[in-house]
Structure 1
Amino acid sequence: MNYIKHLTAFYEKVAQDNTVNPSHISLYLALFQFWNFSRFRNPVSISRDEVMRISKIRSKAIYHKCLKNLHSSGYIDYQPSYNPFQGSQVVMLDFGGELKCSGKKTRMRK
């Protein structure tokens, strides 16, 4: 798994997706950090409280809405656990292979 290629492809995908807002991106990056801590093994077990803390999402309703949106949009595979003693599972999909060179140089705007 190439960390840089994955995040670059993620941001390219997000740039084309008008349904994604900053809360989705923040949540995805928090999930990516959990995946990183587990050495990029899938699935990764998550704790709602920890993911909400890292992503700075304070509302459980927004958290669950964004998680379900990321799942339905193909960014992650979310497998909820209804057991309070067992974490939910998230499969992080690998976008590193989806990176396509457009031949154009893009510049970051200030």
Structure 2
Amino acid sequence: MQDVNYIKHLNAVFNQFSKDSRLNPTHISLYIALFQLWNLNRFLEEFFINRDEVMQLSKIGSKSTYHRCIKELNHWKYIVYFPSHNPYRGSKIKMLKFGTSSGQVVGHNNSQIETSTGQALVPIYKHIQTIKNINSNKQKNFKNSISEDFKNENKQKRACTERSRGIPNMDNLKTTKNKNYNEPL
């Protein structure tokens, strides 16, 4: 098992991707699928892959595109690819390391935290502030929702009263309430 900092590695490889004009989205998608499998294999020096699984993870539909891209990633020194040629045994992959300095400095201003394991740390106050913002937004949305429901209820009562007085039929299909169809019933 290699000592790999997940975030550092991805940041460094994304930086490299941005500089490399040879890459297209298929190469990047394939690399990310391989990185995910490497992570699932606990960052072993080398690990075996199943072509169908990698194609599914990377959303590559063509075997020829898959083979072209994996060979190019090998040639361009993003991975080391050992083709199997055996239908019962997958090919072997070695992921080359990116962003492998010792320890990681996280934060900004005077809130930098360095770790010996390379683990990224985020100060707790950032999490607390995020939770406070979420709760504040939920309360505002709840109050606005109640206010809207109250207004709509009063409009419906007025419409019923007007209909009972013989006022011509109002268009019942129109509504002033903005509905969010992403919320469950």
Match of 1:45 in 2: 48
Q: Distance in 1 between matches of 2:64 and 2:97?
A: 27
Q: Distance in 1 between matches of 2:91 and 2:45?
A: 12
Q: Deviations over 1:9-35 (max 9, x none)?
A: 001111110000000000000000110
Q: Which residue, 78, 81, 89 being the options, matches 2:81? A: 78
Alignment check: 8 A CA contact 2:46 2:93 kept: yes
Match of 1:62 in 2: 65
1:12-27 to structure 2, matched below 5 A, reads 12-27=15-30
- Provide the aligned length of Structure 1 versus Structure 2: 98
Alignment check: 8 A CA contact 2:13 2:98 kept: yes
Q: Distance in 2 between matches of 1:97 and 1:36?
A: 16
SS in 1 for 2:100: helix
Match of 2:183 in 1: none
Question: Following TM superposition, where does structure 1 have runs of at least 4 consecutive aligned residues deviating by more than 2 angstroms?
Answer: none
- Two-structure CA RMSD over aligned residues (Å): 0.9
Q: Percent identity?
A: 53
Instruction: Please report the TM-score for the alignment, with normalisation by the length of structure 2.
Output: 0.52
Structure 1 residue 28 corresponds to structure 2 residue 31: yes
Instruction: Please report the TM-score for the alignment, with normalisation by the length of structure 1.
Output: 0.87
Match of 2:13 in 1: 10
The structure with higher relative contact order (CA 8 Å, sep 6+) is 1
Q: Which residue, 81, 91, 96 being the options, matches 2:94? A: 91
**Unaligned stretches of 5+ residues in structure 2:** 102-185
